[in-house]
Every structure is written in C-alpha cells, then in structure tokens.
Amino acid sequence: MTETVDTVVIGAGVVGLAVARELTLAGHEVIVLERHGLIGSEVSSRNSEVIHAGIYYDSAWLKTRLAVEGKALLYDYCASHGVAHDRIGKLIVACDEAQLARLDGILAQGRRNGVTDLRLIGRDEARELEPNVACVGAILSPSSGIIDAHGLMLALQGDAESHGAMVAFNAPVTGGRVVDGGIEICVGGAEPMDLRARQVVIAAALGAQDVADAIDGYPVTRIPPIHKIKGNYFNIAGRAPFNHLIYPVPVPGGLGTHATLDLGGQVKFGPDVDWDAEPDFSVDPARAEEFYGAIRSYYPDLADGALQPDYAGVRPKLSGKGEPAVDFCIQGPKDHGIAGLVALFGIESPGLTSSLAIARHTARLLP
Ligand SMILES: Cc1cc2nc3c(=O)[nH]c(=O)nc-3n(C[C@H](O)[C@H](O)[C@H](O)COP(=O)(O)OP(=O)(O)OC[C@H]3O[C@@H](n4cnc5c(N)ncnc54)[C@H](O)[C@@H]3O)c2cc1C
C-alpha cells in the first residue's frame, strides 16, 4: 500500500526535529520517520551539550555561518521555550609559549567568523577566573554555553507536533525511488509500507549515506564517504573544579580533550578522537592513561585514579585520519538533480548548536 504525504523527514535527532518544526511552521504536512523507538538516541544524545560560539572553522564554510546564526537562534529558542541552558563562557587555554602563539590565529579566525566578543586574557586574569587551571594565557569566549540537548529535542518535537507533524517510531527507511512529482520511500519494521512524498529531507546522520544510497535515482557519485569516528568521555566525582568550559588548543580531528560542565555542575572530559576504534558506545577504561596526560596539561591537580569512564559518541565525519577537516555537506536539488529532496551529510559538531539554522537553510532549498 502506498500512502501519500507532503513531506517526509528521515531521522528524529536534533536536526530532523528542527527541520520538522521549521517545515511544519511553514505550513507543510510533515511525517518524521525514525528507526528507533525514541527521539535522539544516536548522535544527539551522546555529545558535549555545548553551545559553540563558531570560532574555529573556515570563514567561507556553511558550517561557520550556520554555527554563528544557530547559536543566536538557539539562545532565543531556549529562552522562549524554557529549555535549560547556561551561557557560562569558555576559556581556550595555552599551556606553553608555542600554544600562546596559536591563540592569536584562533582569535583572528573567530573574529573573521563574526564572533565579536572574544578577548585574549593573560595568565593572571585566567587564574582569577579559574584558580584551578594552569595556563600562560587564554581566549575568553563569553557566548559559549551549555544546554540540555534532550530538553531541546523534546521542545522541538512538541512544537512540531502541536503544529500537526507526526513522528513515526520503529520506522526504518530501507529504500526508495525517485518518481514523477516526488519520491517514494520504503519503510521497513513491523508494519512495512511505502510513502509517496513531494519533499524528503534526509537527516539520518550516521545512516545518511546508506539512506541516500538506497534511494533509486540518487546519484551515487554525489554521496560523500562517511567515517564513523568515536569520541570517549571520562568524568570525575563531585562538583566541577571550574566555572567555565575549559578547552585546550585544538588537535587534528577534534577540539582537544576539553572539560565540559553539565547543568548539574559536574564535569566531564572529552571527547577524544579515537580514529581506529569500532564505532560503538563502550568506553575502554585503558584510554584513561591518555586522558590523564592531556587533562593535566591544564589541570595539574587531577588526582590519580579520579577519572571514571563515562560515555562515548560517534561522529558522522566526512574526512578520515590525516585528511583536512571539511564543511557540512548539504545537498539540494541543484546538487543532485532531484526536485524536493535535501540530504544532510557530515553533520558533526557543531550540529547541535547549528540545528535551528540548518533547519532554516534546508527549508530554503525546498520549493
Ligand atoms: C562526541 C560528540 C560530541 C559533540 N559535541 C557537540 C557539542 O558540544 N555541540 C554541538 O553543537 N554539537 C556537538 N556534536 C555534534 C552534534 O551532536 C550533532 O551534529 C547532532 O546531534 C546531529 O544531529 P542529527 O539529528 O543529525 O543526528 P542524530 O541525532 O544521530 O539523528 C539521526 C537520526 O536518524 C535516525 N536514522 C538513521 N538512519 C535511519 C533510517 N534508515 N531510517 C530511519 N531513521 C534513521 C537515527 O536513528 C537517528 O535518530 C557532537 C557530536 C559528537 C559525536
């Protein structure tokens, strides 16, 4: 049996839910298809829950524009929809003279990106703000913050549903085909069915490439390769020894083993970039060894035995080990030639921060 709907969004993570909300508010009839039995159980539930400022990326990138725009939209949305968040600010710390020289480049990049409130601070001011952090200088980013990611997704789902959207759970997309006037989507699970939609958005993160590949008519040469790269977290018991987010200078593939506070006042460290691991959610306690070294470069008082394995997330990266970082890849009709289809690939960090701006951008690519 083939049902007809206006718009299908594949994936009920933070991005799919934001897209569903955006399109529903614009008057579309939207069904979200999610392969699991609950929202946001893949990438969106295993991240740092940081609202990023938009500092590090190339100014010409879409990622940069969506991060800076998304941050502003997100703070407004959290305030108006009662989503728990805190603009606690962040320090990017230099632990030696060589790293201090790198701060100038990071500061200049951030300013080029439109992050206008960044400030270079010296050792004394950094120590005043964070007595437990050892550094020779830092960048203060006042607009960085933390957010309850699940609370955000619930608010987006609620918003979308109250305007008529429907989220179908245990509804894995197994295939599809481009047809006259739209796209047919095959849904598996206990009640398999075909849906014929005028518009489809692939917001399936770790599954995005598989979904695009399974749609007959999607040009396979346009589908970027995916690298599922694990990031592990460790925590320490008790109240956080910091008041701000504490980041070292970035490392290849990630932002360095940073300290993130949660809204309950606890600290976690990570994620690292575990290039060679299986992309599962286990944390190997042996990785603590590397964490001690990385964290003690800025938090020398970290006690032996204090780190406990916490959780792991998996990044839907488009670049592999040793390759340069790349932009988000958002393909609309001009890229793949299929009217009414938008595919989102490589929505790794700062995808949570950018989610509302990604949704706006996606809506603009649709008729
Ligand atoms: C370790 C880590 C730390 C991060 N930290 C931050 C941070 O601090 N700040 C920030 O801004 N960003 C951060 N990010 C990035 C952010 O978490 C992601 O960009 C964002 O959550 C992606 O959302 P999504 O909706 O695209 O993905 P997901 O939440 O994975 O949603 C995709 C959904 O699609 C579903 N799906 C997949 N295939 C199918 C199919 N065939 N049929 C039906 N459904 C399907 C999945 O089940 C899933 O629910 C981090 C990411 C990682 C991995």
In this prediction, residue 2 carries a pLDDT of 80
Ligand 1 centroid – CA 336 distance (Å): 23
Mean pLDDT, range 23-49, rounded to an integer: 97
Mean pLDDT, range 336-343, rounded to an integer: 97
Q: Give the confidence band of 251 by pLDDT, cuts at 50, 70, 90.
A: confident
Q: Give the confidence band of 1 by pLDDT, cuts at 50, 70, 90.
A: low
In this prediction, residue 5 carries a pLDDT of 95
Q: For a pLDDT cut of 70, what percent of the chain falls above it? A: 99
- The pLDDT mean for the chain works out to 96
CATH number of 90-142+227-317: 3.30.9.10
| CATH tag for 2-46+150-225+325-365 (out of 3.50.50.60, 1.20.1250.20, 3.20.20.150, 2.60.40.1930) | 3.50.50.60
* 236, pLDDT greater than 70: yes
Give the integer Cα–Cα distance in Å for 85 and 263.
7
Q: Look at ligand 1, atom 25, and give the residue with the nearest C-alpha.
A: 13
* 252, pLDDT greater than 80: no
Ligand 1 site, residue 110, Cβ cutoff 6 A: no
Mean pLDDT, range 202-226, rounded to an integer: 98
Could you count the other beta carbons within 10 Å of the beta carbon of residue 239?
11
* 254, pLDDT greater than 80: no
List, for residues 119-139, the tens digit of each pLDDT value: 999 999 999 999 999 999 999
Q: Which three-class secondary structure string do you get for the chain?
A: CEEEEEEEEECCCHHHHHHHHHHHHCCCCEEEECCCCCCCCCHHHCCCCEECCCCCCCCCCHHHHHHHHHHHHHHHHHHHHCCCEECCCEEEEECCHHHHHHHHHHHHHHHHCCCCCCEEEEHHHHHHHCCCCCCCEEEEECCCEEECHHHHHHHHHHHHHHCCCEEECCCCEEEEEEECCEEEEEECCCCCEEEEEEEEEECCHHHHHHHHHHEECCCHHHCCCCEEEEEEEEECCCCCCCCCEEECCCECCECCCCEEECCCCCEEECCCCECCCCCCCCCCHHHHHHHHHHHHCCCCCCCCCCCEEEEEEEEEECCCCCCCCCCCEEECHHHHCCCCEEEEECCCCCHHHHHHHHHHHHHHHCC
Q: Give the confidence band of 250 by pLDDT, cuts at 50, 70, 90.
A: confident
**pTM, 2 dp:** 0.97
User: Ligand 1, closest atom to CA 210?
Assistant: 41
For a substitution probing ligand 1, which of 85, 352, 358 has the most ligand atoms within 8 Å of its CB? 352
Ligand 1 centroid – CA 127 distance (Å): 36
Ligand 1 centroid – CA 177 distance (Å): 25
Ligand 1 centroid – CA 347 distance (Å): 7
Ligand 1 site, residue 332, Cβ cutoff 6 A: no
* 86, pLDDT greater than 80: yes
Question: Which residues lie closer than 8 Å to 143 by C-beta, 6 or more apart?
Answer: 51, 53, 71, 87, 89, 115, 117
Ligand 1 site, residue 176, Cβ cutoff 6 A: no
In this prediction, residue 104 carries a pLDDT of 94
Question: Which residues lie closer than 8 Å to 131 by C-beta, 6 or more apart?
Answer: none
Ligand 1 centroid – CA 349 distance (Å): 9
For a substitution probing ligand 1, which of 9, 41, 47, 310 has the most ligand atoms within 8 Å of its CB? 47
Ligand 1 centroid – CA 348 distance (Å): 7
Ligand 1 centroid – CA 229 distance (Å): 13
For the chain, the structural domain boundaries read 2-46+150-225+325-365, 90-142+227-317
Q: For a pLDDT cut of 90, what percent of the chain falls above it? A: 93
List, for residues 276-291, the tens digit of each pLDDT value: 899 999 999 999 999 9
Phi-psi group of 260: left, alpha or beta (phi > 0 → left; psi -120 to 50 → alpha; rest → beta) = beta
Ligand 1 site, residue 244, Cβ cutoff 6 A: no
Q: Give the confidence band of 253 by pLDDT, cuts at 50, 70, 90.
A: low
* 176, pLDDT greater than 70: yes
Mean pLDDT, range 349-354, rounded to an integer: 98
User: Ligand 1, closest atom to CA 211?
Assistant: 41
* 213, pLDDT greater than 80: yes
In this prediction, residue 348 carries a pLDDT of 97
In this prediction, residue 49 carries a pLDDT of 97
* 42, pLDDT greater than 70: yes
List, for residues 51-74, the tens digit of each pLDDT value: 999 999 999 999 999 999 999 999
